[in-house]
Chains A and B, each alone.
Chain A
Amino acid sequence: MNRQQFEHLLEAYGADLQRWPAAHRQAARALIAEDDTARAAQAAAARLDALLDRFAPPAPSDAGARIAASLAALPPQGVGVAPELESWLGPIAGWAATLADLWWELRAVPRIPSIVAVLLCGLVVGFASLGLTHLGGGHVDLSALLFEPTPSDWLQL
């Protein structure tokens, strides 16, 4: 490991080598043992780590119990976003939410944006409905058709 690699990993993961990728720890220890500059850089990173360790937002003591209680009554399964779609539907839903918030703040503006917002919401709902299954039986599971047996297998077709 050269010093440039060491400093890059130090900047990414901090001074504690236990946070580093395992493959690089031994080489880093060797460099620290023989290189004063590397030791100084580690000490500087440790000062930042000490500050970061101060960030410990307190969790309300009953938050977990409240959430667990709210999850006692569960909705039907099989409704909502398929796990495979989470990764890219999340940002889309986020953009739609941002646009909806923006429209809400601009309600005095002519109503054309509201039509656009409705169309966007319909698009999001349409994508989300790809995950819908078992709504009273007989409905086709589009996510199963698209992604079974696995996403990687589907891509090989």
Chain B
Amino acid sequence: MTLSGYRRLRSGAWGGAEPRVEAASEEGADEILMLRVGQGDQPAYQLLVRRHLPRSLALARRMTASASDAEEIAQEAFLRVWTSAPRWRVEGAAFRTWLYRIVVNLCLDRGRRKPFMPLEDAGDPSDPAPDALTVLEQQETARRVAAAVEALPDRQRAALVLSYYEGLSNADAAVVLGVSVSGLEALLVRARRALRGRLEERPHGSHAAAAKESEA
């Protein structure tokens, strides 16, 4: 089925607005692939996996701070994509938004706090460093940021990861979290205030006050 034919079919069947279809590669839009997956098309499913697994895994990694949890969550999310495909309705959220919602819900369901990432797992510094001390400082900063993000309440962390790191629009991030755009912005404001309180250097004695303010 071509994209234009698919759109005519859907518009005629439901008489509503043209369904949202995200453009993708020449293999077809995600929503068209999902229609095929719903008919048991495994190559279409594997294409969706190849296309969206890296970002889903990165999302889960930032949400859970655990490589093993992230892998399990990504696997479970794509299994749900396969088993739910026959009931996929294009009138709903776009595929990527729907997939991210599954991933985020799985992450939130975990509800477990992981210990801070070891220093050696904090990630390589983004800038080439001329000396070992700078490398260590950058790794320590990365570790502090990771710990601060991990310490956020679940939904604030989810809002931040979706909006800042995954680059979702505010509308899409709000759909993933099941909130309004203003609700999303409220989560983001609280998240960033909490992070600023933990990460930015403050004059002696004002750290506690800043952290308390940001968590209000």
**Which residues of A pack against B, CB within 8 Å?**
8-9, 11-14, 19, 21, 47-48, 51-60, 63-64, 66-68, 70-71, 74-84, 86-87, 90-91, 93-94, 97-98, 131, 133-134, 143-144, 149-152
Q: Which of B70-126 contact A (CB under 8 A)?
A: 70-71, 74-75, 78-80, 82-89, 91-92, 98, 101-102, 105-106, 108-109, 111, 117, 121, 123-126
Q: How far is the CA of A94 from the CA of B146 in the complex (A)?
A: 24
Q: Assess whether B129 is interfacial by the CB under 8 Å rule.
A: no
Determine the residue in chain B with the shortest Cβ distance to A20: B170
- Beyond the given A68-B49, A94-B111, could you list 10 further A-B residue pairs with CB under 8 A, ordered by the A residue number? A8-B189, A14-B192, A56-B123, A57-B61, A64-B54, A67-B71, A78-B87, A83-B84, A84-B87, A152-B91
Chain A residue numbers with a CB within 8 Å of B124 are 58
Contact of A81 among B58, B80, B123, B163 (CB under 8 A): B80
* Closest beta carbon of chain B to A72's beta carbon, Å: 8
* Closest beta carbon of chain B to A14's beta carbon, Å: 7
Contact of A48 among B42, B123, B141, B200 (CB under 8 A): B200
Judge whether B50 and A86 touch: CB under 8 Å: no
Judge whether B78 and A67 touch: CB under 8 Å: yes
What is the interface residue range for chain B against chain A?
Answer: 35 or more
**Which residues of B pack against A, CB within 8 Å?**
14, 38, 40, 42, 45-46, 49-50, 53-54, 57-58, 61-62, 65, 67, 70-71, 74-75, 78-80, 82-89, 91-92, 98, 101-102, 105-106, 108-109, 111, 117, 121, 123-126, 138, 141-142, 145-146, 149, 163-165, 167, 169-170, 178, 181, 184-185, 188-189, 192-193, 195-196, 199-200
Contact of A21 among B98, B170, B193 (CB under 8 A): B170
Determine the residue in chain A with the shortest Cβ distance to B85: A77
25 A-B pairs (CB sep. < 8 Å): A13-B164, A13-B188, A51-B195, A51-B200, A55-B165, A58-B124, A59-B67, A63-B70, A63-B74, A64-B53, A67-B53, A67-B75, A68-B50, A71-B46, A71-B79, A71-B82, A75-B79, A75-B82, A77-B82, A77-B83, A78-B87, A80-B84, A143-B87, A150-B14, A152-B91
Q: How far is the CA of A66 from the CA of B149 in the complex (A)?
A: 27
Determine the residue in chain A with the shortest Cβ distance to B106: A90
Chain A residue numbers with a CB within 8 Å of B123 are 54-58
Judge whether B83 and A75 touch: CB under 8 Å: yes
Judge whether B49 and A83 touch: CB under 8 Å: no
Chain A residue numbers with a CB within 8 Å of B83 are 75-80
Judge whether B164 and A83 touch: CB under 8 Å: no
Q: How far is the CA of A82 from the CA of B169 in the complex (A)?
A: 25
Judge whether B192 and A63 touch: CB under 8 Å: no
